[in-house]
Structure 1
Amino acid sequence: MEKTLIPKALPVDQILDNLDQHGFSIIDNAYTPEYTHQLATECTSHLNEFRNAAIQNGIVSNIRSDHILWIDENLTIAQQHIQTLNNLATEFNRAFYAGIHEVEAHFACYNAGEFYALHRDNPQGKNGRVISAVYYLHEEWHDDWGGELRLQDKNDQWHIIQPKPNRIALFQSDLMHEVLVAKHQRLSITAWLRNDNTIF
């Protein structure tokens, strides 16, 4: 498998600076159109395998209504994105001494009317998640289709991040955020860069 390089759209130094100053960073036009199309095809071809998302220990909660499919070695196109995140993790470890040595990830599908209420990915630092990464892999999106990521940065400022195709949103896993109600099917890969070996 060809090694996926860190996306060139935003320099690594700028990503590091954004994370340091604000706790989040956005990468637009992350990959080639060819890769984006292959990834979207891989995702949609497995939609019948998606299941209701759980919060913890397999318990489904009304805090979220999306559907997910955990990414394993059989999903070879998605694995290339995970390699990109591993490459970025090396940079985060160098700059922040983050201790990241693992990436967990799943495809996520929000159908019309689905959402994820306000939460933190790493409440009280209990689960090893250091950086969260959301990659939007749908090939078309309109501003009035909803599904935005609403995020509170490390300076307590709120941001609305549109789920634009081929965009990666990186943010500290302890920041408050939510996915607003989608009005159209919204596809993504949600990943966590972790500093432990525990998979939830």
Structure 2
Amino acid sequence: MTAQLISNTYLNAIEHTGYAIVENAIDEQLINDLIADCYRINPHFHVAGIGRLNDQQIDKTVRKDKTFWFDSSSQAQITYLATMEAIKTQLNREFFLGLFDYECHYAKYQQGDFYKKHYDAFKGRSNRIFTTVCYLNSPASGGELVIYKPKSKDIEVVIKPKAGTLVMFESERFMHEVLPADDVRYSIAGWFRKNASISGIIDPPR
């Protein structure tokens, strides 16, 4: 994916609606390499928690997926991070957001796994500005991402996982959930962040 791909239509969508759905956003070869990387690190996926740092806890009534945070241990991860860096530059240039960095992890949903309604950031309490979801495979059914209208229980859009599709939305603005998976579903969840550093100490990821 190049900066040109997210210009025009997709940047307009972000500006006017706060989200964009970009099909075939990521090169097929890179998607294949990322899936292969998931298989490589499969034994190292961990049950996902909720919250950040010292407040993080496991609650399987809220989410049941497993995650693996990127550690640049493969060329596929390095290439994907470079792609996101290019997108970050484009977003900063277009919207003057002051995005500082990007963090992401693989997410694995097995049959029955879900993630109930939640925000990825809370106004004034987080440095996550934009959420991204990149799908790495195309399950036959289940595992849809549901994005809700701002300050409403009404559904804005339901997105079926499809390999290569990239979804981007404002982290503070949209509540969302992942419906129970019927088949194994792999994706990359990521966040463009502002720097919430204090006294020169860079705010840590996650």
Aligned to 1:52: 47
Q: Secondary structure of the equivalent of 2:56?
A: coil
Deviation at 1:177, TM superposition (A): 0.5
Deviation at 1:28, TM superposition (A): 0.8
Q: Which deviates the most, 153-162 or 56-65?
A: 153-162
Q: Is the 8 A contact 1:23 1:154 kept in 2?
A: no
Aligned to 2:200: none
What is the CA–CA distance in structure 1 between the aligned matches of 2:27 and 2:189, rounded to whole Å? 19
What is the CA–CA distance in structure 1 between the aligned matches of 2:6 and 2:156, rounded to whole Å? 24
Unaligned regions of 5+ residues in structure 1, if any?
none
Q: Is the 8 A contact 2:103 2:205 kept in 1?
A: yes
Identity over the aligned pairs, expressed in percent? 29
Structure 2 counterparts to residues 43-122 of structure 1, below 5 A:
43-56=38-51, 57-61=55-59, 62-122=61-121
Q: Secondary structure of the equivalent of 1:12?
A: coil
- Matched to 1:88, the amino acid is I
Aligned to 1:198: 204
What is the CA–CA distance in structure 2 between the aligned matches of 1:11 and 1:93, rounded to whole Å? 13
Structure 2 counterparts to residues 119-130 of structure 1, below 5 A:
119-130=118-129
What is the CA–CA distance in structure 1 between the aligned matches of 2:151 and 2:124, rounded to whole Å? 18
Q: Secondary structure of the equivalent of 1:190?
A: strand
Q: CA RMSD in A?
A: 1.7
Deviation at 1:54, TM superposition (A): 0.7
Count of paired positions: 192
Q: TM-score, normalised by structure 1?
A: 0.89
Unaligned regions of 5+ residues in structure 2, if any?
196-202
Q: Is the 8 A contact 2:47 2:64 kept in 1?
A: yes
Q: Is the 8 A contact 2:3 2:90 kept in 1?
A: no
Deviation at 1:198, TM superposition (A): 3.0
Please state if 1:169 is matched with 2:167. yes
